[in-house]
Amino acid sequence: MQLRDAHILLTGASGGIGQVLVERLCAGGARLLLVGRDSLALETLAQRYPEQVSLACADLAQRSGRHLVLDAARRFGGLNCVINAAGINQFSLLEQQDEDAIARLIGVNVTATLQLTHLLLPLLRQQPQALLVNLGSTFGSIGYPGFAAYCASKFALRGFSEALRRELADSHVKVLYIAPRATRTAMNSADVVAMNDALKVGMDDPQAVARQIVRAIVAEREELYLAGRKALRAPQQPAAAHGRPGAAQAVAGDQALRPRRALDRPQSPHLKRRKAMKRLLGLCSVLLALASQPSFALSAAGESSLQQVQTRWAEINYQLPAAQREAAFAKLAAEAERAVAGEPQAAELHIWHGIVLSTWAGAKGGLGALGLVKHAKAELEKAIELDAQALDGSAYTSLASLYYQVPGWPIGFGDEDKAEALFQQALALNPNGIDPNYFHGDFLLRQKRYGEARAALEKALAAPARPGREVADAGRRDEARALLAQVKEKLE
């Protein structure tokens, strides 16, 4: 979906992720109807973007609040995207929560979301193209102690998204589910922050999370797990070996084997709470550390470096005379390498270092470029190791391109079967993207699979625009049109 054409209703707009989402969506030219309970925060946003933002201050847990939002959406007009981002959380053992708190959490996170979606679906169906975006959590894929009710609500939201996507499969409404991991917002209590600090578990910056959410919306990506799929697999309790208990058994056994004191005094509520927190820290340590590993949020400096490399690459590749490109790409490769050195865990920077190296090799030509290509391959493989989903799986696309364009053994590492497998992984992550469809189309043309090549190239030409990548998009579309003309000649 093109942001400049988007009329978006955003719930939870006054929250931590919600507010930075507003910034990015407005920067892309979207019009927004902001829904939240914090009227002061909403008014502040409206003052910053008076031409793009309308407001609806409402409590979605109340029927009257939901109908107030429905009326506002009708007045807003042209609603073609709903982002359900409202939610609340509570960190404690389930037995320590009261019934009203549990009911409130489920009411806001699940019931209100379903009921509001039910009210707004007829408006979305009126549009030729529409998106329903449900903002979930990694806690919707794996249960964490201390978050039982919250996990239940996010599991429900994930199931709702899957089921509704199937219900709407024959309509113009697409359902997206996006699951961030731990994010540094006010939604996390002091206890949660203290636990993460104690476990040295990273929390993503809201700006980085919002950036990936917006990319998913533009690409109309059905599912995005910011922690990566592998991180969502619950660790299994180690089996006992040689008569010794597994790790989880050892924790429980430590309590059972500890001798009881002769005089057991009643514990104060404060002491009980400290012991409960300590127990939660132990139970959560493996799970939270696991979920934190695959994703690395770029710093502001890293984001700036990435954008500069992307912009300069497009200028060199599509606007600079061919005779000047080799030297320009050599200089840009040095800049990309410095950016990687500054943030070596950022998959995005490794991807673009690899892209620059590979296009430099193309400009250089001949067998002398093979060393650059091998370096590019190593960078792309490193990016996949760090975060295969970074930049919508761009590492898979770029690596596939190398495998089908580089000569095979004994000269190089080219492998057409490997290229095809990598393209399938790239398209699974970004089925509507311009780059995976363009390069796959080129690969299919070389394979003389002309019908498939035509479909891929037509899909590339229909791909949504990428904000800030206008020069690259225009150049890639010109290349796609040229290839499509060749394909059509073959088919005639």
Higher pLDDT, 142 or 244: 142
Cα–Cα–Cα angle for 344, 385, 392, rounded to 5 degrees: 90
- pLDDT mean over 357-383: 89
Cis peptide before 294 (omega within 30 of 0): no
Position 414 scores a pLDDT of: 87
Q: Write the CB contacts of 375 (distance below 8 Å, at least 6 apart in sequence).
A: 354, 357
For residues 60 and 104, the answer to whether their CB atoms sit within 8 Å is: no
Confidence of residue 212 (pLDDT cuts 50, 70, 90): confident
For residues 188 and 89, the answer to whether their CB atoms sit within 8 Å is: yes
Can you tell me the distance from the alpha carbon of 364 to that of 355, in angstroms, rounded to the nearest whole number? 14
**Closest to 58 measured CA to CA, from 38, 73, 77:** 38
pLDDT in tens, 297-338: 667 788 889 999 999 999 999 999 999 999 999 999 999 999
| Residue type at 437 in one-letter notation | N
Which two three-digit tokens encode residue 424?
């399938």
Instruction: Please give the C-alpha separations between residue 352 and each of 20, 225, 359, 377, 379, in angstroms, as whole numbers.
Output: 25, 22, 10, 12, 9
- pLDDT mean over 87-100: 81
Position 188 scores a pLDDT of: 52
The rounded percent of the chain whose pLDDT value lies above 90 is 48
Position 183 scores a pLDDT of: 58
- pLDDT mean over 115-132: 94
Which two three-digit tokens encode residue 454?
């035509």
Ranges of H-type helices in 90-237: 99-106, 112-125, 148-167, 190-199, 206-219
Confidence of residue 244 (pLDDT cuts 50, 70, 90): very low
Higher pLDDT, 331 or 92: 331
Query: CA-based diameter of the chain, in Å?
Result: 93
Can you tell me the distance from the alpha carbon of 294 to that of 385, in angstroms, rounded to the nearest whole number? 8
Cα–Cα–Cα angle for 139, 145, 148, rounded to 5 degrees: 65
Single pTM value for the model: 0.53
Confidence of residue 226 (pLDDT cuts 50, 70, 90): confident
Domain with CATH 3.40.50.720 in the chain: 3-232
Q: Lowest mean pLDDT: which of 3-12, 176-185, 326-335, 435-444?
A: 176-185
- pLDDT mean over 7-18: 86
- Please give the CATH number for the structural domain made up of 3-232: 3.40.50.720
The owner of tokens 């761009």 is 394
- pLDDT mean over 362-366: 85
- pLDDT mean over 335-362: 93
Could you give the angle at which helices 434-446 and 470-491 cross, rounded to 10 degrees?
30
Query: Phi, psi (5° rounding) for residue 65?
Result: -65, -40
- State whether residue 131 is helix, strand or coil: strand
What's the Rg (C-alpha) of the chain?
A: 25
Can you tell me the distance from the alpha carbon of 197 to that of 201, in angstroms, rounded to the nearest whole number? 6
Q: Return the DSSP state at 179.
A: E
Torsion of CA 212, 215, 219, 223, to 10 degrees: 20
Contacts 24+ apart (CB under 8 A), 150-153: 150/89, 150/90, 150/91, 150/105, 150/109, 152/106, 153/87, 153/105, 153/106, 153/109, 153/110
Provide the 10 A C-beta neighbour count for residue 472: 19
Q: Return the DSSP state at 363.
A: H
- pLDDT mean over 279-304: 55
Q: Write the CB contacts of 468 (distance below 8 Å, at least 6 apart in sequence).
A: 307, 310, 311
Domain with CATH 1.25.40.920 in the chain: 300-491
470, pLDDT greater than 60:
yes
Torsion of CA 438, 442, 447, 450, to 10 degrees: 70
Query: Phi, psi (5° rounding) for residue 42?
Result: -65, -45
- pLDDT mean over 224-241: 48
373, pLDDT greater than 60:
yes
Check whether domain 300-491 has CATH 1.20.140.10, yes or no: no
Ranges of H-type helices in 225-365: 247-257, 269-292, 300-319, 322-342, 347-364
Q: Lowest mean pLDDT: which of 4-18, 275-289, 382-396?
A: 275-289
Can you tell me the distance from the alpha carbon of 345 to that of 302, in angstroms, rounded to the nearest whole number? 11
For residues 464 and 219, the answer to whether their CB atoms sit within 8 Å is: yes
Mean of pLDDT over the chain:
81
Question: Can you say whether residue 200 is alpha, beta or left, with left for phi > 0 and alpha for psi between -120 and 50 degrees?
Answer: left
